[in-house]
Amino acid sequence: MRGIFVSYRRSDTIDISARISDHLKSHFGSERVFIDFSNIIPGMAFAEHIKSRIRNANIVIAVIGHEWTPNRTALKEPENGDWVEFELRSALQAKIPIIPVLVHGARMPRSATLPVSLQKLPELHAMEISSNSNFDRNISDLIGVIENTIASDALSASHKPVVKVKKTDTLERILQLIRENDFSQFPVVDEMSFLGLLTENGITQWLANQFSDDNEIEISSRTIEVGDVIDFQGNAPNYSFFPGLGKIQDAIQMFHNQPALEALLLTDSGTMDSDIQGIITQWDAIEFGRPIGEDVIT
């Protein structure tokens, strides 16, 4: 589920980070807030789980105290066990919004004291949270900023990577991409031309159409090509183009108005004449459309 990822350094701000996390969970719902000491099961692959949670986050809160700046070893070799660097680097690479939150009177680190991967961090506008009587007012301000960020433009809300495929790609490759990634919508292109949108639903319908009660055939994913499925889908589009800077609420309304719509393809112009920069799916629309603070019923 999309939500809020709280990044912190255990040796620096564990107590106030837990306090911030508790207030965010109380407002947004516990399922929407991730912090590693309460959301990771023993034995879980830590790096992959962290990367997955960041990829599916709307926003990352970076809690920064006086002891947050990486030590010299981490500065030179950030890949050697600095999990805070790993978290924020992953967020920056995935273009997830980051809000630096300064606590205990800390200041924003200087670029020169950070690994190359994090040197854009000081350019971000930071908020301050006090541990004294101003805490409630500060956390209320933070909640307001998070709500505004989550309800921003469509491109900011879209975090799944855009993986383009060709008509000649095999179904075997597509199934592998679906297994390895948390998405199943693939724009199909031929050189510079957009040909259609391949989806998990389209693949299922194509496979179902290959069988009948009196006709048994053997299908190999190594020989079936994307073009076979796209051609079967015909001219009824399962997608629409939408401007990346358009309002996310307008995007949600499009799914309500067009039940057959499986995805919105985000471009600068809102047409197929410019490059696809992001994708919003039916499930995304459901997530974005749920009122802030509403838990998922399971």
Instruction: Tell me what pLDDT residue 294 has.
Output: 42
pTM: 0.56
Whether residue 113 sits in one domain with residue 49: yes
Whether residue 58 sits in one domain with residue 113: yes
Cα torsion angle, 204, 210, 213, 216, sign: negative
pLDDT tens track for 147-186 = 877 766 787 677 677 899 999 999 899 988 888 877 788 9
Percent of the chain whose predicted confidence (pLDDT) is above 90: 34
Name the residue range of residue 279's domain: 171-289
CATH number at residue 232: 3.10.580.10
Q: Which residues contact 71 (CB under 8 A, 6 or more apart)?
A: none
pLDDT tens track for 6-30 = 999 998 999 999 999 999 999 888 8
Whether residue 185 sits in one domain with residue 141: no
> How many other β-carbons are positioned within 10 Å of the β-carbon of residue 293?
12
Confirm whether 161 is domain-assigned.
no
Whether residue 196 sits in one domain with residue 276: yes
Confirm whether 140 is domain-assigned.
yes
Instruction: Tell me what pLDDT residue 273 has.
Output: 83
Instruction: Please report where in the chains the tokens 């749920």 appear, as a residue.
Output: 290
Split at pLDDT 50, 70, 90, the class of 292 is very low
Query: Mean pLDDT, the chain, as a whole number?
Result: 82
Whether residue 146 sits in one domain with residue 11: yes
Residue 123 has what DSSP assignment?
G
| Residue that finishes a domain, picked among 150, 180, 204 | 150
